[in-house]
């Protein structure tokens, strides 16, 4: 009796995530993408030591479709940027005034898709995770990240309908690990392939 009480919640969860359409195959999708981000003056603080400019990024994801319209996506992203220091904050006269930095993010997102049309499909995703990186103004190097975005998949190979061009954008918000005053927001645009 005790074992059945333990198994019952697991059975219920399994039945809830079991897709309604048992014929669905190839539930896993993989994607690679790259693009650019917009986020000048990224830090929202009472003072700035410089201007932060985000550069290009690269990432990938694994998505598991629970149904034809809903899936879970594990997304990893590597973002480059540069902090351009003001002249009065330069550590030495020969310093270039530009300090590069990086942000590595891992997020788990829910993905809601429209019905596949002839050659395209819209999707919406939202979720969160953790980011790691260190740049001026953020005292710690681990942050919570929250994201939401929209995109379109364009299917262009009739011989393999799983391969798609993936175009989209998303908004990202970073909050310091202990919910202190440091936070940042930026917009990311991407283009890539899903297979």
Residue spans of the domains in the chain: they are 27-194
| Band of pLDDT at residue 105, cut at 50, 70 and 90 | very high
**Which is more confidently placed, 118 or 194?**
194
Residue 180 has pLDDT above 80, yes or no: no
Alpha-carbon span 32 to 45, nearest angstrom: 34
Least confident residue range of 30-44, 144-158, 167-181:
30-44
CATH topology of domain 27-194: Porin (2.40.160)
Reported in sequence order, the residue ranges of 27-93 that DSSP labels E, i.e. its strands, are: 28-38, 50-65, 70-85
What is the token pair recorded at 99?
A: 């300090």
Q: Tokens 């929250």, residue?
A: 146
| Band of pLDDT at residue 161, cut at 50, 70 and 90 | low
pLDDT over 70 for what percent of the chain? Answer: 66
Sort 72 into a burial class: Cβ within 10 Å, 0-12 / 13-18 / 19+.
Answer: middle
Give the model's pLDDT for residue 127.
97
Give the model's pLDDT for residue 86.
65
Alpha-carbon span 79 to 102, nearest angstrom: 6
pLDDT (tens digit per residue) in 62-85? 999 999 899 999 999 999 988 776
pLDDT (tens digit per residue) in 20-56? 444 455 789 999 999 999 875 544 444 445 677 888 9
């Amino acid at each position: 009796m005790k074992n059945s009480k333990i198994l019952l919640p697991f059975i219920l969860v399994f039945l809830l995530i079991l897709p309604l359409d048992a014929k669905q195959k190839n539930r896993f999708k993989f994607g690679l993408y790259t693009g650019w981000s917009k986020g000048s003056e990224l830090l929202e603080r009472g003072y700035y030591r410089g201007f932060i400019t985000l550069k290009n990024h690269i990432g990938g994801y694994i998505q598991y479709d629970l149904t034809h319209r809903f899936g879970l996506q594990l997304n990893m992203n590597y973002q480059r940027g540069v902090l351009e220091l003001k002249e009065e904050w330069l550590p030495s006269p020969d310093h270039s005034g530009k300090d590069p930095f990086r942000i590595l993010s891992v997020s788990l997102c829910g993905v809601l898709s429209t019905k596949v049309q002839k050659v395209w499909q819209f999707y919406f995703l939202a979720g969160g995770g953790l980011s790691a990186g260190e740049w001026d103004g953020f005292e710690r190097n681990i942050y919570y990240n929250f994201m939401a975005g929209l995109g379109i998949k364009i299917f262009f190979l009739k011989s393999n309908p799983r391969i798609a061009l993936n175009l989209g954008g998303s908004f990202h918000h970073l909050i310091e690990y202990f919910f202190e005053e440091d936070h940042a927001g930026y917009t990311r645009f991407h283009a890539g392939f899903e297979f």
